[in-house]
Amino acid sequence: MTPRPGRIALWLLAGCLAPRIAHAEPPPPFLVVELPSCLEVSPHEVRRIVALELGSVQLLESAAAAPGRTPRVSATCAPPLLHLRAEDPTTGRTRTRTVDLGSSPAGVRARLLALTIAELAATGDEPLEAASTPPPAALPSPVAAPPVVPAATAEVPAPVAPEEGALLVGGGASASSYRAGSGLTTLGGGLQLTRLQPGGLGWRADVAADHGAVQVSLGSVTVDTATAAAAILLAKRAPWLSLHAGAGLRAGVAHLLGRPAMPDRIRGRSQLVPIASLFGAASATVPVGGRWAIEIAAEAGYALVDVGGLVVGAREVSISGLWLGLRAGVSVAL
């Protein structure tokens, strides 16, 4: 029996189309990753890293734009913790995970969160099945499961310097020396706040208390100071170090008390006087783990108010002219 010409043409056409239909690629699967506004990391950066870890999965920001029965990972803030929840409408399974981002350096929190989300979406009794737009009914195509992310990839790296925008709260010890007159040297300590703004600018405010004593011809004079300072900073940030330089104003009060060697014959007096100085400062902050860092600073200033103490009419104590200072302490990034 000889085939008709029309049937031959249909057979040839079917043979040309069959390979193309058999190799049709399904659309990429979807995964909803919902992140709250309370996060201190960039949601865009988190989703970018999740997409890299999960391969061909297409991420959506909201379930409203997702096809039906799309897997979903959502986050809830409970400072300092973050609760993650993965749901698969197809199987009805739900998995949860809690992450402590506050104990990690600010520079690695986005990556740590993204790796945890990827691991939560890809592991369990069975991987979460990612929904996709349905292929033609006659040509079903299986969707490959996302690769399993090993837990070891979420290890926290070595400490890094505080990031721009961080608020640093610190405290420590200080020493100051006045070069003019009697060469008064004081020791003390204080507390400070530092804000590093984006672009390299920042500010610093501190309060300090210092104590010193100087020997005079008829005994000694003790000097106690209480001051507050404000300064504008320029910052240079490196992976293991943050350098600051700036200038500002320090002002407060000084209490001078005379202590005669022979109190039965000589009377000592006290006075409370204002003091003020312009100063410049340079400091280095080195991270030591988590949000903690060690800071060392050097200051140099010039007293705007000339303060002195008289002993039998002669000036033997002074807080004036050039002074130098050193400060060392610890700080924590909030």
| pLDDT tens for each residue of 146-171 | 665 555 454 545 555 556 667 889 99
More confident residue, 65 or 214: 214
Calculate the average pLDDT of the chain: 78
- The CA distance from 45 to 51, in Å, is 10
- Domain boundaries in the chain? 24-154, 167-333
The architecture that CATH gives domain 167-333 is Beta Barrel (2.40)
What percent of the chain has pLDDT above 70?
A: 77
Segment among 100-104, 174-178, 212-216 with least mean pLDDT: 100-104
Judging by beta carbons within 10 Å of its beta carbon (0-12, 13-18, 19+), is residue 76 exposed, middle or buried? middle
Kindly state the average pLDDT of the residues 115-141: 58
Q: Which residues contact 327 (CB under 8 A, 6 or more apart)?
A: 172, 173, 174, 175, 283, 295, 296, 297, 298, 299
**3 state SS of 171:** strand
Top-confidence range, 51-65, 98-112, 223-237: 223-237
Tokens of 177: 């020396």
- The CA distance from 35 to 60, in Å, is 11
Amino acid identity of 216?
A: V
* Amino acid 14: pLDDT: 40
Kindly state the average pLDDT of the residues 1-13: 44
| pLDDT tens digits along 256-267 | 888 888 888 878
Kindly state the average pLDDT of the residues 11-33: 52
Kindly state the average pLDDT of the residues 247-272: 88
> Percent helix, strand and coil across the chain, each rounded to 5?
15, 50, 35
Structure confidence at residue 132 as a pLDDT band (50, 70, 90)? very low
